[in-house]
Structure formats: C-alpha cells, structure tokens
Structure 1
C-alpha cells in the first residue's frame, strides 16, 4: 500500500512494525494475524512461543477526531492498574508508540447469552456486578498518578464526564446545537449535590465476555475516568438496550446493592443517563455536522440519532415535561428519487472481495438510504422547524442555520420557568428528525431506544 494512510487505518508497514514488536516482546513468532472488522484497527495474533501458541489481542488507535482521550497509552496504563489490583481484566504485555498499539491478553468468550439458561445468566450477572463494585472500591490515587483527573466536590464529581468532553466539543463543533446547549445548562443547574464520593469508573460500562457459562473479563476502558460510580450503572443500562447483559438490569442493580451495602439512587442514575447521552452526541457532533474523510459516517449518524432520542426521553422523565405527539409523516418522493435509486442500484452491482470491503459497501448503501429520505422530506421538515422557532422567539429567519443559531443562544441562557416550552420545541424538532430517518437501517436503533429500567 502506498500514499497517505486513511484515518482509522494502518498500512502494511505499520502492521509489520506491530508484528515485529510482538515478536520481540514475546520472544515468539507471529503465525497468525486476524484483522477484526470494525472502525478501530485491531487484530487477534497467534504467537508461537516455546512450542505452544498463545493468542494476543492487538488494539490500535481509533483515529479520526472523535477521541476524548486520544492517547492510547492512557488506556493501557489504566488496564494495567486494574490488573495489578486483581480485577478481571486482560493482562497488558506491552505498548507500541508508533503506530499506537496495545498488546494484551486475548479474552475468551462472547457477548451472546442466548444459549444460557436464566439461572446461569443470573450467576454471571452477580459475578459481574460484584466485579464492578470491587472496581469502585479501588483507591483512586494510582489512577491519578497515571494522569486521570481527580474531581473535587459534588458538582465536579457529577459532571466529570461533561468537563472531560467539553474541550473536544468546543474544538470540533461544526454547527449550532440548540438541544445540546440546553441540556448542558440543565445539567449544571440540576447537579445531585448529595453525591460527594468519587470512584474510578469504566464510564462506557457493560462490556464483558462470557465463556462456558461464566464471566471471563471486562474490556474497553478507553473512556474511563474518576467520577460518580452510578455513571457505570447508567451506562450499562443504556448498553443493555442493544447489547443485552444477560440478567435483567433491576436484578443487576440488586446485586450491586448487595455488594456495596448501599441502595442505588435511581434518580441519580437517570441524571447520568441524560449526561452520557449528551456526551455521546457531543463527541460525534462535529463530524456528523461536517463529515471527515475516513470517518465511518454511517456509524456516527446511527449513534447521533439514537443518543438524541435517549436525551429527550431522559430529559422528559427528569423534568416532568411530556414530549409532543407528532402527526404521522406523509410519505412523498423527492426531486432526486430516480437518481438516488440508480445510485443504489449501481452500488448493489459493485463486486467486493473481502469482509472489510463488504462493510464499506454496506455503509455506503446506508448513507444512500439516508440521503433518499432527506431528499424526500428534508425541505418540508426544515420549513416546519423554522416556523416553530420563529413562533417561540418572535422573529423570522431566512434559513435553518440562522434559526438554529438563534435558538442555541436562547437555550444557553434560558431561565428555569421557560424550560417546559423549550423542551417541547426541542422535542418537536428532534422528533421530526426521528420520523424522517427512523425508517432507515441507520434509524432502527433510535426507534427502539427506551430508558433503562433499574427497578
């Protein structure tokens, strides 16, 4: 391969450097290298050492401009600390700086619980939640020494995620974001002041594998930080909606309460559902607004739509303001319908030779379907949104950019007694977007988003 390396991709020379590093690190010979098909470069490596073959996992850098903690070594250091304290995480064997790559133990297992009976699922859930409770009891000083920020006081602990994500959001933001502006302000006004104990948290939790009817190990600590431990309950609940955790979430919460000896504050969990949904949207907002070369744009559109739906549901539950019921979308054809159909037809006939190319082809097909819906309904949706913003703010706008910018300014400084009207308007705007794109392959996840039931 020659020329510039695309984002999220390692060229042949980079893979060769990784291979040499693994062999030098282990004293063995790489006899198998299996590339995992996903947006992050990663591999399973089979290494022959003294007549036996060991399987390692090689975790590369995500790439692009969506990383909150872009230093991959940070994650390696965190996992190493957890391993040293006896937590069920993979052992770190080494770290390569160029190209960035963590060499770690490969974890046996799967996320598929379908073959397990309810008793086994419950036992696994109990083990998992006891591991999470043990993680939350760890001293935070080693993590602080490794470079993690230590929040002080209830507000800093509650908003550790928001404070961590804000610099990235401010730097990459590419368009007005009225919904995000409002939720940022709402969270700051409604911090749970009684939560004053910080713990090490996985943050994007609910990630572990099972093998032969038992939990193996936890994985993926890219976004880990120090903050409110109930963040992990909130985020595992959100993950459970599309990647089931085995046992029902209320049962997992009970196991956590047993392990900690303390009741879970369910309202605080919902606060963190709102915050995590916001942060995920903030993370991808820049590239969703202005797509970057090499980014898996279809994946980010799917995340964005689903996370905005989660924001609205959590905000409605916390504020007591019901989301508006919108009339059904009247189906219609766009001006470019024949051309869009022909592009989809042409793509369908393009041959692909490997799994990676098949994934890229599928992503292009998803983007075409998205564009078809925008062509058919986008102009009408924008006109309705502009009219609604004009009615609230009492001024007219020439286009959506101007209306969205004005609404963002209003949302950033809104008084609490104006929250209800603004929540209903934002619910209408985002609800129309879900109506528009929900029927697509990328919108399916958002159409099924529900708030995690923790009790």
Structure 2
C-alpha cells in the first residue's frame, strides 16, 4: 500500500505509461499494476481490436549504480529478437519514465518449480541451444548500439569486470579489503581469451518456462562483448539460488548444441571475476541507498548481494589456486537486552496489512530486516570480535572497530605481494562466511549460496 505522499508520483508514472502505450502500441489501457519489488515494474493490460494485450514495463533501477543505461538494454533486447532469440517483443522505450515496454510472456522462473524431471531436461537443452545461438550472433550491431569492443584478448576476458571496476573505483565510499584483494588477484591473473569476441549476456541463466518449453530469456542489462565462457561461469553463481540443474552436465549440453569447447580453467577464472563485479556493483547500490534511502529499497537484499557474491568470488579464487578453505564454526547464541524489542518488532510486522503487491513486498522487506537484526543480536558481537582479532594478528595493530579494521586491512592488502595471497584469502573468506551466517535467515531465497560452498567444476 502506498503512503499518501507517494500517490502523486505513482499516479504520474501510470499516466505516463498509459499515454505512451496508447500512442505507440494502440488500444486502451484498462489495468496497470505495480509489481512489489525493489525495481519499478508494472503489469499492464491493453484492450486492442477486441483482445487483451498483456504488456510488461521494466523501469530503471532506483539505485542506478551500473555503468550501462536502460536505453542500451532496450537496444540489446531488439537485437536479440532480430537474431531469432526467444525474447519478449519490445515495443519501445518510455523515455520520460524511463521504462522498456515489452510483451508479457507466460511462464515462471526457477527449474525447482518444474512439474517433472523430463521438463527440466527439455528446458535445459533449449537454454543451452539459446546460449549457443547468442554466441553466434554478429557483434557489429551490438557495437553500433553502444557495447564496447575490447581491444585485446586480455581485455576481452575482463570486459564486464573492467566496466564495473572503473565505476567502483570512482564512486566507492568505504574501505573494503575483500574487494581490494580480489580485484588485485583478478587483474594479476586474467588470462587472454582464447576465443573471438562474442555477444555475452553475462547473467545468462535468467529465463521463463512453461511446462517443457522455455518461453523467454530475460534480463540483459549486463550484456557486453566478451568471452563466451563468461556466460557459462555466471550459471554457477545464479544456479546457487535459482535451480539450473547440474552445471557440468549443462556444459556438455552447450557443447553438444554447437557451442565453443568448454574451457574449465577460463570458467573458473570468470566465476571469480563475474562474482566480484557483482559484489562491486552491489556495494555501489548499498552506498546510494545509505546516502538517499528510497521507500522500496530492500537493505537486506542489497547486503545479501554483496556478501553472497563476495563469498563466491573468494571461493572461485581458491578453486583457481588450489586452496581448500575452511569456514569458521557457527558461534553459540548469546541472548541479551535486544531480545524483547526485536520480538516486539517481529510481532508488529506480522500484523501489518497486505492490501496489494507493493504492501506485501514492503511487509516482506520489514520481516527480513527484523530477522537479520535478530541474528545480529544473537551472534553479531562474537563474530565481530573474531574479525577484529584476525585483523590485529594480520596487520600487527589492534583496530578499535570494524570500520578501522577495514581501513587497516585494505592498506595491508594494497602493500602486500602475491606471497600473502593465501593468508589473506583465508582471513577474508572466514569473515565473509561470518557475515553470510548472519544473513542466512531460514527461508531466504539465497540461503544455499550463503551457507554452502561453491560447487567445483
């Protein structure tokens, strides 16, 4: 439910949507429903020629932290449709909103919801064939649409990473020793791509399916010209919380469909680089939220993105260099003065009304924040003390608090050579596992990636 001061802005957005659709698509808008999520998006029904046309409007992120525009993404959708990919038809871009208007496609995400194992394998085969088709597209139209063409095989490997790292270095607001360490490792160890430049979605595991049919590929805002192994690596990350089945056997399906020979060392490297790029982008998202909070932001979701992807980045680095990581044991519960007020907060959240999708979403945001606060109260003091002690042992100076520990450790990382990699990797991984434990609320969509290690390939 929107509070009163939000209604004029919501009404203006719906008027912009209706005006643009009726002028550019035709017909009459009869229903507009805002999705309940952190990103503005709407389901729109249009009566046209005696039929109902189902549309979807994909708005711009509120925290606009990516180095890629919505206009660029709109052009990518159109090029993919022209190339024969299974994507929704795009009707155009509402510039004043802004938002991409596309057909609303039947289907659902996450193969864990499939009706049978046969449906899962049928959809996986179609997904593999679609990714192969993407990798065969002529890159010239994408370059003309604004996707940067890297100038060397090594730059091709780092295509998306370099874009996001450049923005991160310019806009970051806090010390982050994990990002500093992992970025230095990625830049020091990036292999030149052994394949020609390809269009890559970067987060290629996003799709809708209905029964045994893949109905649409989704979400191309991260698209770059890069190494096709990037797309195969990204499946390892997304597959931790949105079931894609067994990843190594999917790679076999990709090869069988005519894809590039699977290069496992390159995939392992790209897993680290892709996960770290996601971490850096999510850090910028969090910085923007903390500087100017918006009503539909989801603090816990944003923090999960940072911690979950940082954990995967470190585990992928460990996989590349052959280090076995041991996460710390869970700490004991410690009850105290925070128990009662957090219980009261949880009880109050449980009584809030769910009048519409936005209200239901906001209730879930409050519920997840309350659950996170409860875990901080139970486990946080011990985990924080462990991190401070680890940093003191590493740098030879006792930090007063977490912010000082981050600054001291980042300075240590920047001065260290490769000989310190394993010790830093173990320290940073132990701490990110502590933070993941705090976020591992039962029922979380990201629970698997927060508590389990990255599966090897």
Q: Aligned partners of 1:192 and 1:99: how far apart in 2? A: 41
TM score, norm. by length of structure 1: 0.91
Change (3 A) 1:243 1:18: same
Q: Aligned partners of 2:9 and 2:74: how far apart in 1? A: 19
Q: Is 1:206 the equivalent of 2:205?
A: yes
Report the Cα offset of residue 287 of structure 1.
4.6
Preserved CA contact (<8 Å) 2:327 2:429: no
Match of 1:151 in 2: 150
Q: Is 1:293 the equivalent of 2:293?
A: yes
Unaligned runs of at least 5 residues, structure 1: none
Q: Aligned partners of 1:169 and 1:265: how far apart in 2? A: 29
Change (3 A) 1:376 1:262: closer
Cα RMSD (Å): 2.4
Preserved CA contact (<8 Å) 2:177 2:409: yes
TM score, norm. by length of structure 2: 0.91
Match of 2:106 in 1: 108
Report the Cα offset of residue 364 of structure 1.
1.1
Report the Cα offset of residue 422 of structure 1.
1.0
Q: How do 1:226-245 and structure 2 match up within 5 A? A: 226-245=225-244
Change (3 A) 1:83 1:372: same
Match of 2:332 among 310, 330, 333: 330
Change (3 A) 1:19 1:131: same
Preserved CA contact (<8 Å) 2:399 2:405: yes
Match of 1:342 among 341, 344, 351: 344
Q: How do 1:44-443 and structure 2 match up within 5 A? A: 44-69=43-68, 71-111=69-109, 113=111, 114-245=113-244, 247-260=245-258, 262-288=260-286, 291=290, 292-294=292-294, 295-439=297-441, 442=444
Preserved CA contact (<8 Å) 1:322 1:424: no
Report the Cα offset of residue 221 of structure 1.
0.7
**Residue correspondences, number:** 450
Report the Cα offset of residue 260 of structure 1.
3.1
- The one-character-per-residue Cα deviations of 1:416-440 (angstroms, maximum 9, x if unpaired) are 1111111111122222223334356
Match of 2:447 among 426, 440, 444: 444
Change (3 A) 1:160 1:13: same
Q: Which moved more, 1:80-89 or 1:395-404?
A: 395-404
Q: Which moved more, 1:100-109 or 1:351-360?
A: 351-360
Preserved CA contact (<8 Å) 2:440 2:451: no
